[in-house]
Structure 1
Amino acid sequence: METDLPIRKIIHVDMDAFYASVAQLDNPELRDKAIAVGGSEIRGVVSAASYEARKFGVRSAMSGAMAKRLCPHLIFVKSDFKRYKEVSTKIRNIFLEYTDLVEPLSLDEAYLDVTQNKKGNPSATMIAQEIRQKIKEKTGLNASAGISINKFIAKVASDINKPNGQKTVNPEEVIDFLEGLDVKKFYGVGKVTKEKMYRLGIFTGKDLKTKTEAYLNEHFGKSGAYYYYIVRGIHNSAVKPSRTQKSLAAERTFNENIASEIYMLERLDDIATEVEKRLLRSKIAGKTITLKIKYSDFTLQTRSKTLSLYVSSKELILETVKELLFQEKMKDSVRLLGISISNLNNEKKKKSVVTKETIDVQLKFDF
């Protein structure tokens, strides 16, 4: 069948417990120890946890106090983003030895399109092995990888053999692989969506595949079509070397809970100053301003407003934030405040077209 549909070999590389692993690498006394990056046993939130800590249930986004209760011998270390960026740059340079089509998702993970690569190697599996070995040699860190026909499947596959492993899902294996997965393993299915799918009797990819697109749209809104196509192995998003920034934010977790809105305004003034710096540094502006509030009971609330014009100045941002702050009464004392700005003036709206023929073509591809 002749077609203009893209045929790709995609690798998703994901560093293993990156922040924690860098800390252990730099401080031999922390190796093989349960450590948490960020937070403390009194306040704050865990940014990352070593695999030794994960065995006790410690996870990112967990409060430091909870993490310490789960793992009494947990060691807290401070974040060091300058060091993370330094190591990330080394890793990125290794990727670029193989292809210029590298799409970073964060400091510790990226997609690579190696369909046509600089080494002339037809095996994406072998390329992933080489890349992981080079990362180990040049940084001392372990990486895991997923290899398949599109970004979605490659990302899901990279979790299968973690840590320090990789998983290739060949074209002819795609359907069976997706049908056998628990829906919670699907990238884009979070805790709330997972629980909703379970209530609807959707536990695996095979269950999801029995639902019509209309049914999924009815129950999951705009995400319905996404779920309908990905479970069939259809995901046409190309690897984009220059990812468009969607939002910019800054937030602060306080040593003590704040109950007074006057004190909150003082903290928000500092946060708005940081947001302005980042906007000016990136030479962007945005229309939608969001105030993030995390209460002492850890419940999260966001309040947003979209302006008619793009803004980047602290004064205009803070003016809107004040309005959002007083929009409704606080339900409790506050442990964290944050400001984000989105709907940026660097965004270009694009519509991706998916067709039923895509998977037929990909399954005929010699991987």
Structure 2
Amino acid sequence: MSNEFPLRKIIHVDMDAFYASVEQLDNPELRGKPIAVGGSSERGVVSAASYEARKFGVRSAMSSVLAKRNCPELIFVKARFDRYKEISKQIRSIFYDYTDLVEPLSLDEAYLDVTVNKKGNPSATLIAQEIRDRILKETGLNASAGISINKFIAKVASDVNKPNGQKTVNPEEVQTFLENLEIRKFYGVGKVTADKMYRLGIFTGKDLKTKSLAFLEEQFGKSGSYYYQVVRGIHNSPVKPHRIPKSVGAERTFNENLSSEIFMLERLEHIANELEKRLKKSRIAGKTVTLKIKYSDFTLNTRSKTLPYFISDQKLILETAKELLYQEKLQNSVRLLGISLANLNTEKKVGPKQEKETVSVQLKFDF
């Protein structure tokens, strides 16, 4: 390992079935039962599922109808985001007892850089265990953790011993761990990409490692270089305490499918209005407007347009969204519409040419 890029000690903490676990915590009658947080109506979607429900194949983002079909005993509970935020704040305060380098990804997960920490503890593994013990003691909830030399490996590792477990990937174990990893477990490889990799004969990290950078870029575009590097343990993104949003959006799911653009215009006006409020509240503007359309068969379609100037005004957002709506003919009736704004005025300018950091793993590094 070169002195120029020292190895970090990164912990990824991920709460176990967070929303569902909070509901079971607050209502003892729900403990041990299959529950789903979300709407039970025909149009409902599962936001989170307890581990008891997951055994039946119930997953987040699944339609409530399908979830109920998979698990007839499923109990639906309405989401209480104020309560989830309250507990998330409690958990985050525990993190800050150990380091100020905390990067929240959502209410239920975060990265922590404990290379140098407030406890003076050289073992990231012991810190992770202590944090998980405190979360359980102070909130009554279980958390899992992954510990390694960078964010990518820590995130993948946090899934290994779920629920209520942790996994440390030491520097000398990185290459073996990644080579043996199933390709669908690589963070950033979704179902569509995994299926394509299978067709290319890539089933594990070891298979991925045999492919050249040129081949991966040809097959996967910009993502190709990402796959090429992470399978070699190279991922030098630091833990960023103040994450700057890359986009701001608003969306609506409708009680009845909409079959004509005319019926959608009024809905888009409300969505654009909501988006303007969020932008003004955060003092954010952007140049790229994206219209999100989810059809009744759950097919997703996005259309984008980049303007030459920053906007945050509802009228300008709506005008661009309408243009995108009429850009292509609708493929089916529509169940959801959304508008988001990206290319924000919060993004930092980056030089046209940046050198990529390289990592060669050393054997002695106390984790």
How many residues of Structure 1 are paired with residues of Structure 2 in the alignment?
Answer: 365
CA RMSD of aligned residues (A): 1.4
| C-alpha deviation, 1:326, in angstroms | 1.5
Contact 1:6 1:236 in 2 (8 A): no
- CA separation of 1:136 and 1:350: change in aligned 2, threshold 3 A: farther
Contact 1:11 1:154 in 2 (8 A): yes
> What amino acid is the match of 1:73?
E
Match of 1:354 among 333, 356, 367: 356
| C-alpha deviation, 1:2, in angstroms | 5.1
Report whether the alignment pairs 1:230 with 2:206: no
> What amino acid is the match of 2:19?
Y
Q: 1:191-214, CA deviations, whole angstroms, 9 ceiling, x for partnerless residues?
A: 111111111101001111111111
Aligned to 2:30: 30
| C-alpha deviation, 1:118, in angstroms | 0.2
> What amino acid is the match of 1:325?
L
- CA separation of 1:323 and 1:197: change in aligned 2, threshold 3 A: same
Report whether the alignment pairs 1:136 with 2:136: yes
Measure, in 2, the Cα distance between the counterparts of 1:331 and 1:236: 42
| More displaced stretch, 143-152 vs 2-11 | 2-11
Contact 2:10 2:150 in 1 (8 A): yes
Measure, in 1, the Cα distance between the counterparts of 2:17 and 2:355: 35
Aligned to 2:51: 51
| C-alpha deviation, 1:366, in angstroms | 3.1
Alignment of 1:1-367 (within 5 A): 3-350=3-350, 353-356=355-358, 358-361=359-362, 363-367=363-367
> What amino acid is the match of 2:280?
L
Q: 1:191-247, CA deviations, whole angstroms, 9 ceiling, x for partnerless residues?
A: 111111111101001111111111111111111111111111111111110111101
Contact 2:96 2:102 in 1 (8 A): yes
Q: 1:144-177, CA deviations, whole angstroms, 9 ceiling, x for partnerless residues?
A: 0000011110000000000010000111111111
| More displaced stretch, 251-260 vs 93-102 | 251-260
Measure, in 1, the Cα distance between the counterparts of 2:189 and 2:339: 25
Measure, in 2, the Cα distance between the counterparts of 1:265 and 1:38: 27
Measure, in 2, the Cα distance between the counterparts of 1:47 and 1:93: 25
Contact 1:41 1:67 in 2 (8 A): no
> What amino acid is the match of 1:76?
F
Contact 1:292 1:303 in 2 (8 A): yes
Measure, in 1, the Cα distance between the counterparts of 2:349 and 2:21: 37
Measure, in 1, the Cα distance between the counterparts of 2:147 and 2:231: 17
Measure, in 2, the Cα distance between the counterparts of 1:289 and 1:80: 30
Q: 1:23-48, CA deviations, whole angstroms, 9 ceiling, x for partnerless residues?
A: 21122222212111123241122111
Corresponding residue SS for 1:305 = strand
> What amino acid is the match of 1:205?
G
Contact 1:147 1:157 in 2 (8 A): yes
| C-alpha deviation, 1:74, in angstroms | 1.1
Measure, in 1, the Cα distance between the counterparts of 2:170 and 2:325: 51
- Structure 1 residue ranges without an equivalent (≥5): none
Corresponding residue SS for 2:33 = coil
Contact 1:289 1:306 in 2 (8 A): yes
Using the size of structure 1 for normalisation, the TM-score is: 0.96
Q: 1:42-76, CA deviations, whole angstroms, 9 ceiling, x for partnerless residues?
A: 11221111111110001111111111111111111
Q: 1:287-342, CA deviations, whole angstroms, 9 ceiling, x for partnerless residues?
A: 11111111111111111111111111111111111111112221221111111111
Corresponding residue SS for 2:232 = coil
> What amino acid is the match of 1:270?
H
- CA separation of 1:105 and 1:233: change in aligned 2, threshold 3 A: same
Contact 1:286 1:341 in 2 (8 A): yes
| More displaced stretch, 13-22 vs 39-48 | 39-48
Measure, in 1, the Cα distance between the counterparts of 2:237 and 2:231: 15
